[in-house]
Copies of this chain bind each other. A is one copy, B any other.
Amino acid sequence: MTINISDVAKKAGVSPSTVSRALTRPDLVKTATRKKILEIVEEMSYSPNPLARGLMTGKTNIIALIIPNLTNTYFAQMAEGCEEALRSKGYHLIIGNYFEDNTMELKVIDAFLKRMVDGIIIAGSLTAKDFQSIFGSRTSIPVTFVNHSAELEYGYDSVIADEAHGARLACQALLERGARKIAVVTGPARNPYTKRRLAPFKKELQNANMYLDPCYLTEGHYGSIYTGFEAMSKLLSLKEPPDGVFAFNDTLATGVIKAVLSKGLNIPKDVAVVGFDDIPLAPYLTPSLTTIGSSSFDLGKEAAEATLGPIGNPYRPPSK
């Protein structure tokens, strides 16, 4: 049926092992033989069966990415970053979208461990601590956490955006625009993104001798524009509405802007709005959304590279 290594060997007048070597460790094969073998490989357009190869090496050349959803451009970009980095090294990206359902997140990871992926990138809600206690005994493949800060102590790699810096910049941006009654629309309080953005933001406010009034602290959901709309609507109905808002991601910010405009207010004259993350849409929202970047594409790329790091790349990537 499909052509295999012995077919090539026969045609080249060598043994299968020599073909194998010519493909995986060319330096072990005499130049002449190697050249001939590679020619025939080309000619017959042979390519090694990855399943058989995997069975021997214990590798699948597949990396899994765990994310809450794909329609949030933040994660879509991250996936693109992963894919680009992986492909250049002959690896493939398998998607583990858990649709914002934490129970499903565990099932998805479980399935990937069974599937024997070569590495896992977790940009989800699971912490290294929990991963350790749930899956730790079952695997020794590299796991990289994205945007979880304290994972190193558990022996996992971690790639994080400098969110503290971003949060401080966001605060400064609002102050520069003259905002004095500053509110925030955060994601869920227990979410690590939220924590890492809120604390430095508050601290920066204090540096300016201000503080975050508790009634200006509202909460939405990172995946839902609507919750941003709701939160901002509430803020605007206060007897003393804010004149500056920091939305904790651009999804929320989109809802915030909608709420402001639907009350007939002007941005940034009446209310200044600053978001986080840098989805490509941002500059085209009307009015333009001021956003603090934390390129998720780069984050994904770095996570992929970190994951491949310990694995190395024993086989040449599919040439051509």
Contact = CB atoms under 8 A, between A and B. Distances in A.
A83 B62 contact: no
Nearest to A56: B51
Closest 10 CB pairs of A and B: A51-B54, A70-B76, A47-B114, A51-B55, A225-B284, A76-B76, A258-B284, A71-B76, A254-B284, A93-B95
Contacts of A115: 50, 92
5 contacts: A70-B77, A71-B280, A225-B284, A255-B284, A258-B286
Query: What range describes how many residues of A lie at the interface?
Result: 35 or more
Contacts of A54: 51
A91 to B, nearest CB: 10
A257 B285 CA distance: 9
A215 interface: no
Interface of A: 45, 47, 49-52, 54-55, 60, 62, 69-71, 73, 76-77, 79-80, 83-84, 87, 92-95, 97, 99, 107-108, 110-111, 114-116, 138, 225, 229, 254-255, 257-258, 261, 280-281, 283-286, 318, 320
Given A70-B79, A84-B99, 15 more contacts: A49-B55, A50-B116, A51-B51, A52-B55, A55-B55, A62-B94, A79-B97, A80-B97, A92-B95, A92-B115, A93-B95, A225-B283, A225-B284, A258-B284, A285-B285
Contacts of A261: 286
A214 to B, nearest CB: 27
Given A55-B55, A80-B69, A97-B83, A286 B284 contact: no
Contacts of A97: 79-80, 83
Nearest to A47: B114
A217 B151 CA distance: 54
Contacts of A280: 71, 225
Contacts of A49: 55, 116
A2 to B, nearest CB: 9
Nearest to A92: B94
A114 B318 contact: yes
